[in-house]
Amino acid sequence: MVLETVVAEGLAHLSYLLGDEDAGIAAVIDPRRDVEVYLELARRHHLRITCAVETHIHADFVSGTRELAAATGAEICTPESDAYRFARRSLREGDTLALGDLCLRVLHTPGHTPEHLSLVVSGGDEGEPWAVFTGDTLFANEVGRPDLLGGGTEEPLARQLYHSLHDKLLPLGDGVLVYPAHGEGSPCGARIGARRVTTLGYERRHNPRLQAGSEEAFVHDLLASLPEPPAYYPRVKQVNAEGPRVLGSLPYLPLLDTEEFRARMAAPDAVVLDTREVLAFGGGHIPGATSIALREAFPIWAGRLLAPEQPLLLVLETNADADRVQRHLLRVGLEQIDGILRRGMRGWAEAGLQFERIRQVSIHELREWLNNGHADDLQIVDVRSDAEWRQGHIPGAIHLHAAHLTERMDELDRARPVVVYCGSGYRATTAASILQRSGFRDVSSVPGSIHAWRAAGYPLVQ
């Protein structure tokens, strides 16, 4: 028996290859779009992938079932749903998928979405169910969010979720392993735990959602605690329902010299996307560039801030980052990449072109400004989520979630200096880049941000 977990960093997306070595066949559960990793694992274990399953219509990443089917001839298996617009096999409660000696049994577990299914694994050396692929129904320390479809479906879905958890999953037994579709860091759950695998017993006893005393309490608490979902989710859900374009292989990304890069910058929707670290962006960047540094959160912020119809022009720390950046973008459905600035900022500077800076101020400088009474002049902007804001902020700060910056930036004064902070300085630099591009004259960002502020023992207000 082979069970391999594939982690897509950033989205904290977990997918699985499960196979039987004697029969030589395998299924992939919730595959991502760049599927070579599954082909490689299958070959290493002498397995043919015969089945590409998705547990539900994903909203945070473009599903790879069609790509995998195109590459290998595997059958696409999805939950039953009218939303789908491509050929596939629909799985219903009680259906089974045989993989040699292994058996995947389908449970309909609606809640995160109406069509959502879970897959119970038995077989191998064991006749009894020993694991369940729960998709976005149950995570370590968290449950799936029922609010992504909107239109007043939140509460009915939350109620369905309660029953899926208590009537379908937990009865499988405390000793059953739980393999969810997401780990820590995914916005598909509010506070998913760090364990990649967990158990029904552990979640039954310790998952805060499963401690609710009643269906009512569960529904109430769940709906009250949900962070705002990334705005790109409906777009990707639509792509997954219609059937993502099959790529075949990673599209070639041309290197562009400064002249061509500048010419393409002139296109109406073009976005210069700078993935270097925040201090490098602060030190110097192309005027108008958007900063989304290549850290864990890159794909989520790329999904949030960029649109599929915008041609992307990449400024990388090194050409060696190109592959990783491209995969992250493709996974959230951003395919239109015009190319890469050939020698990055080094070439840009040597060509004698203009660049801009965003001052990176330390918390000590910021504190000094505050102490010296500059706060009146300064606009200190906190771009964190509501939940983070509620846990305490820097005195005098204005709250403006980074995801809403574009709509709400007119609440700020373009002529007065702005200092942006967040949790660690990452979103702050992204937000600062957007403000600067939008005409704000004097924009600073705070590396370390609240993390540093706390570490230094400076006071927060609530």
Query: Hey, which residues between 232 and 251 contact a copy of itself (CB under 8 A)?
Result: 248-249
Residues 442-461 that bind a copy of itself (CB under 8 A): 447-448, 451-456
One residue of 63, 65, 137, 199 binding a copy of itself per CB under 8 A: 199
Q: What does the per-residue mask of binding to a copy of itself show for 6-45, with x meaning CB under 8 A? A: ------------------x--------------x--xxx-
Q: Which is nearer to a copy of itself, 127 or 152 (CB)?
A: 127
131 φ/ψ angles, rounded to the nearest 5 degrees: -155, 160
Binding mask 100-139 for a copy of itself (x = CB under 8 A): ------------------------xxx-x-xx--------
How many CB atoms lie under 10 A from the CB of residue 131?
Answer: 23
What's the longest Cα–Cα distance across the chain? 74
Judged by beta carbon, residue 92 or residue 206, the one nearer a copy of itself is 206
Phi, psi of 51 (to 5 degrees): -150, 130
* Closest to 196 measured CA to CA, from 111, 124, 134: 134
Residue 202 one-letter amino acid: Y
Name which of 202 and 389 has its Cβ closer to a copy of itself: 202
Q: Pick between residue 140 and residue 273 the one whose CB is nearest to a copy of itself.
A: 140
- Distance CA(118)–CA(104), nearest Å, equals 9
205 vs 390 by CB, closer to a copy of itself:
205
Which of 86, 155, 163, 202 forms a contact with a copy of itself (CB under 8 A)? Answer: 202
Segment interacting with a copy of itself, rule: CB under 8 A, options 89-97, 109-117, 149-157, 361-369:
361-369
Q: Which of residues 305-324 bind a copy of itself (CB under 8 A)?
A: 317, 319, 322
282 CB neighbour count, 10 Å cutoff: 24
In DSSP terms, 313 is beta-bridged to 272, 339
Q: Considering the complex, what minimum distance in angstroms separates the CB of residue 416 from a copy of itself?
A: 22
- List 190, 223, 255, 307, residue binding a copy of itself (CB under 8 A): 255
Residue found under tokens 């846990």: 391
Nearer to a copy of itself, 36 or 386 (CB): 36
What number of chain residues touch a copy of itself (CB under 8 A)? 90
Residue among 80, 215, 257, 442 that touches a copy of itself (CB under 8 A) = 257
- The pair of structure tokens assigned to 278 is 């925040």
* Pattern 260-299, a copy of itself, x by CB under 8 A: ----------------xxxxxxxxxx--------------
* Closest separation in Å from C-beta 264 to a copy of itself: 14
Nearer to a copy of itself, 95 or 184 (CB): 184
Q: Which helix (H) or strand (E) holds 360?
A: strand 359-360
Q: Which of residues 45-64 bind a copy of itself (CB under 8 A)?
A: 46-48
Q: Which residue, 163 or 342, is less far from a copy of itself as judged by CB?
A: 342
Q: CA 416, 422, 428, 430 torsion: positive or negative?
A: negative
The residues in 325-354 that bind a copy of itself, with binding defined as CB under 8 A, are: 342-343, 345-347, 349-354
Query: Residue 74 gets which letter from DSSP?
Result: P
> What does the DSSP 8-state code read for residue 168?
I
Does the protein bind a copy of itself through residue 176 (CB under 8 A)? yes
Residue 223 engages a copy of itself in binding (rule: CB under 8 A): no
| Among the listed residues 252, 372, 410, 462, the single contact to a copy of itself using CB under 8 A | 252
CA atoms within 13 A on the CB side of 47: 27
β-sheet bridge partners, residue 198: 178
* Closest CB to a copy of itself among residues 166, 195: 195
Judged by CB, which is closer to a copy of itself: 242, or 350? 350
CB of 53 to a copy of itself, least distance (A): 19
- Supply the DSSP string of 247-316, one letter for each residue: -SSPPP--EE-HHHHHHHHTSTT-EEEE-S-HHHHHH-B-TTPEE--SSTTHHHHHHHH--TTSPEEEE-
Q: Which is nearer to a copy of itself, 15 or 360 (CB)?
A: 360
User: Taking CB under 8 A as the rule, does residue 408 contact a copy of itself?
Assistant: no
| Rg for the chain, CA atoms, rounded | 24
Q: Which of 180, 189, 333, 425 binds a copy of itself (CB under 8 A)?
A: 425
Q: Of residues 156, 185, 201, 234, which one binds a copy of itself by CB under 8 A? A: 201
Long-range interactions of 263-272: CB distance < 8 A, separation 24+: 264/311, 264/313, 264/338, 264/339, 265/313, 267/311, 269/307, 269/309, 269/310, 269/311, 270/310, 270/311, 270/312, 270/313, 270/338, 271/306, 271/310, 271/311, 271/312, 271/313, 272/313, 272/315
Of the listed pieces 75-83, 89-97, 187-195, 384-392, which binds a copy of itself according to CB under 8 A?
187-195
Per-residue burial over 443-457, b if 16 or more Cβ lie within 10 Å, else e, is: bbbbbbbbbbbeeee
